[in-house]
Chains A and B, each alone.
Chain A
């Protein structure tokens, strides 16, 4: 008897991504772990085969419905690949038999790249952790066993924590954008700055800011310097900061569960001192990081999806409309984005076997430079993902950190 194939709806945030994906806007992000020894690809493949059963909601193919895309369970297994392209490249995940994620290896590094349609950074971290644990298990290192995922881990938490009858949040206006020339298609540049965690934290403390607040302030200040030294026609600077909602709601979902908050500073009002920026951000976070504010945004997103008009538009029309709508209401209103995945901890038994963990944000035309940060062991890794050859923003940013007497080491995939 043939069993009925399991299928999943895309979650509220994930629904958007397949419709806006293009060769440049891949909506793919990367998490990678660098070990001390070269990767054994055969062992990695077995590890992947073993753990994928615990992530049934990832063992899927994207399919076209009449009105929405959906994920369908597949009997096939994903294959590990040797890394040959630029990071976060376009994924043919709309094709038959291709997965919405990939596992790559290169020398001593394992990378997982996920389409944002299926999960966010937190889901990807959990997956990478399990993969590492299983990989070392197979190499004969005693580690903890896997936990069986519960049904809850595939839930659409947006829908679960949706509150009815809340007014819409105020609309954003067009934000300042970096006026840099786009690079060739098929290329994506990363510049990673490696910074000792303790020094960065103590400096942030001096300004009475958390790490995220401090980095955000540095980024605002960087853009301020850039704007003021070039005399651009000014628009407000808006930075998109995704917030992991699992820290606010008791969900363990492995699918998307984040909301973007959008601190903004209008440099037409004058020059801001660093202290003023930090102050603004600290206050902004207090205003926004509470259930009432977040509910308003969840409500807005879910309401849009629930609208009967949007539901009844055939998928091909959605695909035609979404890129324009997204650029008009989405990234047009942000200057750039910075997403902080926080401090990652691995089980003690394998911590000494993994040198570092890095996070690369997805490439996008609307925001040609985006930042992904992640902390692991003693360092914080700040990665600028960029679709332009210009490195001005990165230069100003890291020079600023150096001026505060914080050591920085720079690495890049640029030639």
Chain B
């Protein structure tokens, strides 16, 4: 019977690589010419297919609902003399919802592209809402910078999260969340301040920033424990002599 020269275990005829160590199995002709009955079927994995089917059903149903909603809104618009702006807002929101659903159902397989997609849809949504009255008022000054800021912080969070996957979740996820929130608040105040006064002077966000960052640093340094030099220094400065 054929065997793996590295593991020393026997394997069936016609097996090309060792199941344990993938080392190539020396070819030994089957002298008895046993008819080989396969022990396992070539297994199907229907999991992703089944999930996709269910997802498609959900998406199809929701698409029809959204299509109907848009139709109804247009009909209302043409029959009743409602305020055209209100109808336009609704239509833009409903269409944006359709794109959000598309992304949330995971049709874009990469998480990074999904987040980018959410950002882009949000941009179009805000641009559309801003442009309903025919003029762009606040999109470029407020909406766009805030969206870009949020995206950047989410990507930073994901980057840090992926790097610390095998570390303690209870320490690192809160720390990164705190860092994210503090950066977000500083960025937000910068944008608001700049647009309002064309100059930046931080106030509330600095408080948030300092508090959250120090908690995050404390958590992380507790995890890594303090380096010996600093420990030694603290000991030296704060030691209490008993004699």
Give residues in A with beta carbon < 8 Å to B: 23, 34, 82-87, 106-109, 179, 184-187, 191, 193, 391, 394-395, 398-399, 402, 407-414
The 8 closest A-B pairs by CB, nearest first: A186-B47, A186-B45, A402-B8, A412-B19, A395-B20, A413-B40, A409-B10, A86-B43
CB distance from A389 to the nearest CB of B (A): 11
- Tell me the residues in window 1-30 of chain B with beta carbons closer than 8 Å to chain A beta carbons: 1, 4, 7-12, 18-22
A193 touching B9, Cβ below 8 Å: yes
In the complex, are the beta carbons of B7 and A185 less than 8 A apart?
no
Q: Quick one: given A85-B46, A186-B47, are A409 and B38 in contact (CB under 8 Å)? A: no
Interface residues of B (CB under 8 A from A): 1, 4, 7-12, 18-22, 37-41, 43-48, 166
- Contact residues in A for B43 (Cβ distance below 8 Å): 84-86, 187, 413
Contact A185 B41 (CB under 8 A): no
Does the CB pair A186–B46 fall under 8 Å?
yes
Known contacts A34-B39, A191-B20: A184-B9 contact under CB 8 Å: no
Main secondary structure of the interface of B (DSSP, over half): loop
Complex contact B45–A184 (CB within 8 A): yes
Tell me the number of A-to-B contacts counted with CB atoms below 8 Å. Answer: 84
Q: Are the CB atoms of A391 and B20 closer together than 8 Å?
A: yes
* Inter-subunit contact A84/B38 (CB<8 Å): no
**In the complex, which of the residues A184, A193, A412 has the most CB atoms of chain B within 10 Å of its own CB atom?**
A412
Cα A23 to Cα B49 in complex, Å, equals 13
A399 pairs with B39, CB closer than 8 A: no
A–B complex contacts, Cβ < 8 Å, 26 sampled: A23-B47, A83-B41, A106-B40, A106-B41, A179-B166, A184-B47, A184-B48, A186-B45, A191-B19, A193-B9, A391-B19, A394-B19, A395-B7, A395-B21, A398-B7, A399-B7, A399-B9, A408-B9, A409-B1, A409-B9, A409-B11, A410-B7, A410-B9, A410-B18, A413-B40, A414-B19
Residues of A near B12 (CB, < 8 A) are 411
Closest to A191 in B: B19
In Å, the complex CA distance between A391 and B18 comes to: 11
Kindly list chain B residues whose C-beta atoms are within 8 Å of the C-beta of A23.
Answer: 47
A398 to B3, CA, bound (A): 13
Q: Are B7 and A402 in contact (CB under 8 A)?
A: yes
Which residues of the other chain, A, contact B4 by a CB distance below 8 angstroms? 410
Give CA–CA (A402, B21) in the complex, Å: 14
